[in-house]
Structure 1
Amino acid sequence: MKGKIILEEAFNLPHLAEAQAKQFAYEPDRAMCLARDLADIEGRIAAMDEAGIEMQVLSLSSPGPQGISDAEEAHKLAMESNNYIAEKVRANPARFAAFAAVSMHDPKQAAEELTRAVVELGCVGVLINDFQSSGPDGNTMLFYDNPKYDMFWSTAQHLSVPVYMHPRLPSKVIYDQLYRGRSCLVDAPWGFANQLSLHILGIATSGLFDRFPGVQLVFGHMGEHIPFDLWRLDHKLDRDRFPQMRMSKTQTIRDYFATNMHITTSGHFSTRSLQGAIAELSSSRIMFSIDYPYEDGLLEASTWLDNLPLSQPDLSAIGRDNALRLLKLDRVPHNLKPGLTMGELQVGGLKGAIYPDEASHLRRA
């Protein structure tokens, strides 16, 4: 399929890329390759063409400003990153867009930087890496379901841009209590989703979507486990049991997925899981993403999408249309063309590139 849009794709500032890569790639050669790929933006275009990807939406690699407990330094990094990536996008707006970075130490400052990034720099949304580290030892965690962040959420609603919630490594105190001795589970295998899903559900049950019904929240990795627990969540969030819960008594988590929440496939290329997510949410709330360069290459995931046993309208919605509409990529300066036909998109055009038969496809699912 041509024209695909992917929107959880990381970059890093060249002077930070090597140190960042060493947190996630323990072998020196792998860390060097990851650092190179995080810093190289222009070099992605050939692989995008091969995989039928029209646009990458770029975001500063986790943890970004959220990993800096000093408020001034966190804000400085956010501004530096936004200025840097805006220049990269400006050089090639037909192939790249960007999510802003913000420090979440101060809600007012975060709202102001988001406004600058969207209005002046052209960012199409903002990506936040879970909780904000704070305090003298970095172990204080700031969460955005706190009412003091209403100013930030009001600004996101006013600007009509989505907020992408992305995982990060835990604070030291959480690591010591939960993951020491089981460190293999600390990040992508389990900890990322385990931690971020709590934050997302905290935002939903805080009544934030009732106060700001225009806020659009996006999260990746096939929904950080949440879509597969929707029935149990709504069954157990009993209003008699939790009378102080701030979300509207007429709403459920499933309702918010219909109006305020979206997921992406980043780093989770299971056919059966996607089919389950479609059954729970519908294809209108799901967008294709890869999680490059933390997932190797663009072709394998793109071929997975093209070979999915889904209708052509569902493939078009997940692969392109939902992201184009949510991020308003049909507008200046990106000017992507909406409403392309199945023939123009060549849905299924990568058939056989990686999965030559159904048996190998199912083994990877």
Structure 2
Amino acid sequence: MYDFHTHFIPLDVLQWLKDHQKVVNAKWLKKDKNKDDFLIVNEKWGFELKKAFIDGDLYLSEQAKAGVTHSLLSPIPQLFMYDFPDEISTDISTVYNHSLAQWANSTPQNLSALGTVPLSNPDKAAQVLYDAIKLGLKGVIIGPGLTDHMLSDEFFTPFFDEANRLKAIVFIHPLLCDDPRLKRRMMPNLIGVPWETTVCATDLLLSGFIDRYPNVKILFAHGGGFLPYQIGRLDKGYEQWQLVSSNLKAPPSEYLKRFWFDTVLWNPESLEFLIKTVGEDRVVPGSDYPFDLSVWPPGGKLVLGVNSLLD
């Protein structure tokens, strides 16, 4: 069984955080005596630093107990560092990518990995992506854009040109939504996270991105957010409005089948709908392990999706 959505923090990255603690305003807090420390970065990103995030032996042990034979490791979104100057996000990307590549290359039967890039500087991001592929990584994980740029913007052309040339996997993972209406009842995570994916995925689909970059393997987290469920609405808009259809050569439902989606949905009927909508060859197992809202172990083997993404 594969797991295409799982996160890890190498010890070199933890050391980097300690060395740059003041620069990135990193804090380790004990919020609950029965839980591990909470790691908070820049008063914005916080999560429980569970041992499975940082202990490679424990991670592999838990992987084996769950019946997962191979995991595609990703950096955690809280450490993308897009809010900091390019030299900071480039530095941690370099450390992260080398560490994950070293671990994956030493245990190829159990692990492969994605890297991270300084997305706020697309030229540097393209170079870091190239270096990551040379290290043996399969591609990179990125956020759904920046505060002032959607991923379809020309701003990101250098990065996606390189990703297209390299035929890289680009795993798009949301960050917490800043909508002030969601500042309660855990809604930033419950619906804000999939909403960020929905906005990003819809924009990429309608922009003609897939025709411009046919070789980039875009993988969306959490089953693509809410987009697959509302694809009929996009198809209707395609029929009605030139603003929707002008960049497309086919209805949105056809373009939807050219992305990949993980299975992090926590609901068998939702997963069944996703597979029926996009095809079994476009859905890959994922867990989001070891975050709190993980599906562990991931559901389904989905060999067709695994093979199509790794081909």
With structure 2 as the length reference, what TM-score do the two structures score?
Answer: 0.84
1:169 corresponds in structure 2 to 176
**In the alignment, structure 1 residue 145 sits paired with structure 2 residue 152:** yes
**Separation in 2, partners of 1:8, 1:209:** 22
Amino acid paired to 1:277: L
Query: Secondary structure of 1:152's match?
Result: helix
**Structure 1 residue 241, shift from structure 2 partner:** 4.8
**Separation in 2, partners of 1:21, 1:278:** 41
- The 1:27–1:237 alpha-carbon spacing in structure 2 relative to 1, beyond 3 Å, is farther
Q: Is the 8 A contact 1:8 1:292 kept in 2?
A: yes
**Separation in 2, partners of 1:240, 1:297:** 39
| Greater radius of gyration (CA) | 1
- The 1:301–1:49 alpha-carbon spacing in structure 2 relative to 1, beyond 3 Å, is closer
**In the alignment, structure 1 residue 184 sits paired with structure 2 residue 198:** no
**Separation in 2, partners of 1:20, 1:262:** 34
Query: Secondary structure of 2:243's match?
Result: coil
**Structure 1 residue 117, shift from structure 2 partner:** 0.3
1:62 corresponds in structure 2 to 77
**Separation in 2, partners of 1:93, 1:156:** 23
Amino acid paired to 2:104: V
Aligned pairs (5 A) from 1:255-274: 255-258=254-257, 260-266=258-264, 268-274=265-271
2:60 corresponds in structure 1 to 45
**Separation in 2, partners of 1:142, 1:78:** 20
**In the alignment, structure 1 residue 292 sits paired with structure 2 residue 289:** yes
Query: Secondary structure of 1:56's match?
Result: strand
- Give CA-to-partner distance per residue, 1:286-338, whole Å, 9 cap, x none: 1111110014787x534xx3xxxxxxxxx54x1x442244224xxxxxxxxxx
1:327 corresponds in structure 2 to 310
2:194 corresponds in structure 1 to 193
**Structure 1 residue 21, shift from structure 2 partner:** 9.8
Task: Point out where structure 2 has 5 or more consecutive residues left out of the alignment.
Answer: 38-47
- The 1:321–1:255 alpha-carbon spacing in structure 2 relative to 1, beyond 3 Å, is closer
Q: Is the 8 A contact 2:222 2:263 kept in 1?
A: yes
Q: Is the 8 A contact 2:149 2:155 kept in 1?
A: no
Query: Secondary structure of 2:261's match?
Result: strand
- The 1:40–1:81 alpha-carbon spacing in structure 2 relative to 1, beyond 3 Å, is same
With structure 1 as the length reference, what TM-score do the two structures score?
Answer: 0.72
Amino acid paired to 1:185: M
Q: Is the 8 A contact 1:263 1:286 kept in 2?
A: yes
Query: Secondary structure of 1:97's match?
Result: strand
Query: Secondary structure of 2:141's match?
Result: strand
Aligned pairs (5 A) from 1:112-261: 112-119=127-134, 121-132=135-146, 140-170=147-177, 174-175=178-179, 177-180=180-183, 182=184, 184-187=186-189, 189-238=190-239, 240-242=241-243, 247-248=247-248, 250-258=249-257, 260-261=258-259
**Separation in 1, partners of 2:105, 2:306:** 20
1:30 corresponds in structure 2 to 35
**Separation in 1, partners of 2:93, 2:240:** 40
**Structure 1 residue 193, shift from structure 2 partner:** 0.8
- Give CA-to-partner distance per residue, 1:51-80, whole Å, 9 cap, x none: 221111111111322543322211111111
Match of 1:76 among 72, 91, 99: 91
Q: Is the 8 A contact 1:34 1:293 kept in 2?
A: no
**In the alignment, structure 1 residue 110 sits paired with structure 2 residue 125:** yes
Amino acid paired to 1:179: L
Q: Is the 8 A contact 1:145 1:206 kept in 2?
A: yes
Query: Secondary structure of 1:30's match?
Result: coil
Query: Secondary structure of 2:77's match?
Result: coil
- The 1:21–1:277 alpha-carbon spacing in structure 2 relative to 1, beyond 3 Å, is farther
**Separation in 2, partners of 1:63, 1:142:** 19
Amino acid paired to 2:207: S
Query: Secondary structure of 1:235's match?
Result: helix
**Separation in 2, partners of 1:167, 1:246:** 27
**Separation in 2, partners of 1:217, 1:94:** 24
Task: Point out where structure 1 has 5 or more consecutive residues left out of the alignment.
Answer: 133-139, 306-314, 329-365
Aligned-residue CA RMSD (Å)? 2.7
- The 1:179–1:208 alpha-carbon spacing in structure 2 relative to 1, beyond 3 Å, is same
